[in-house]
Amino acid sequence: MADGPDLFSVLDRYIDDLLVAEGEALTGCVREARKAGLPEMQVSAGQGKLLYLLAKMVGARRILEIGTLGGYSAIWLARALPDDGRLVTLEAQARFAEVAAANLARAGLSGRVEVVAGSAVDTLPGVVDRADAPFDLVFLDADKVNYGAYFAEVMRKVRSGSLILADNVIRKGTILAPRDDDPSAGAARTFNAMIAADQRLEAIVLQQVGVKGHDGLAIARVR
C-alpha cells in the first residue's frame, strides 16, 4: 500500500469520531502501554467498541480473555459487564500484566477484573477449572500458535449461546498459503478449520480493515 494514511484508516478515524468515544481511560491505556515499551498491537478503538457491543448483546457476565497486553481490550470488555460481572484476563509477560493492572485500576475496573500473569498454556487449565460458571464470552488474542490448544481448553467451560471470538485470523491473507517462516499464519488457518469442523459451534470470520491493516475476527457461537 502507498505511504500515508490509506482510505481504510481514514474511514476508521471517521467511524471513531462518529461512534467511538474512547475517553481518558482508553487513551491513557494506550499512552501508558507505549511509555512502558509494550508492542502496539492492541485492538483498534473500533474493534474495541465491537467487542464491547458483542459482550453487551449476549448479556455477558463471565468473560475470559487470553492475551491482555496493556489491558486495552480488557477495558472495553469489562465495561460491558454488569456490576457483579467478572473478567479474567491472561497475560504471558509479567511486566505487561503489571501495566495492564495499573491501566484497569485507572479505569476504575479493578473490582471486576483479574489479571493472571504467566503463560496461558500453564495458567488456563486452572482458570477453567476454578471458574464458578461457564464463560459467556471468550476472546482469544494471544500467541496464535496456541489458539487451537486454548480453544480446546475453553470449550470445557462454555454453555449454549457462549461466544468464542478470536483476533487475527486473516493476517493480511497470509493464511491462504502460510509460509514455513510464519507459524502464526499456519496456526490461524488451522484454528479457522478447527472451528469450522466443530459441530458444537456455528461460526463466521469477519474480515476487518482499518488502522491495523487487513485482518479478521472469528466469531463462533456455541449451539
**Residue 39 Ramachandran class (φ > 0 left, ψ -120 to 50 alpha, else beta):** beta
Contact between 68 and Mg ion by CB under 5 A: the answer reads no
CB-nearer residue toward ligand DHB: 89 or 168: 168
CB of 162 to ligand DHB, least distance (A): 21
Torsion of Cα atoms, 167 then 172 then 173 then 179, to 10°: -100
Cβ neighbours of 204 (radius 10 Å): 12
Q: How far apart are CB 47 and Mg ion at their closest, in Å?
A: 8
Decide: 12 and 211 in contact? Cβ < 8 Å. yes
Interface with ligand DHB (CB under 6 A), residue from 141, 166, 205, 220:
141
CA distance 42 to 158: 25
First and final C-alpha spacing in the chain? 40
Q: Select from Mg ion, ligand DHB, none the partner in contact with residue 208, using the beta carbon and a kind-dependent cut-off of 5 to 8 Å.
A: none
Q: Does 65 bind Mg ion (CB under 5 A)?
A: no
Query: Which residues 32-51 are close enough to bind ligand DHB by CB under 6 A?
Result: 41
Q: Grid coordinates standing for 92?
A: 504471558
Is residue 168 within the footprint of Mg ion (CB under 5 A)? yes
Task: Note whether 162 binds ligand DHB by CB under 6 A.
Answer: no
- Contact range with Mg ion by CB under 5 A, out of 31-39, 94-102, 107-115, 159-167: 159-167
CA distance 76 to 49: 7
Dihedral sign for Cα atoms in the order 87, 93, 95, 99: negative
Residue 167 makes contact with Mg ion by CB under 5 A: yes
Which 79-118 residues touch ligand DHB, going by CB under 6 A?
A: none
Q: Does 141 bind Mg ion (CB under 5 A)?
A: yes
Number of neighbouring beta carbons within 10 Å of residue 18: 8
Q: Does 168 bind ligand DHB (CB under 6 A)?
A: yes
- Per CB under 6 A, residues contacting ligand DHB are 41, 141, 167-168
| Residues found near Mg ion in the complex (CB under 5 A) | 141, 167-168
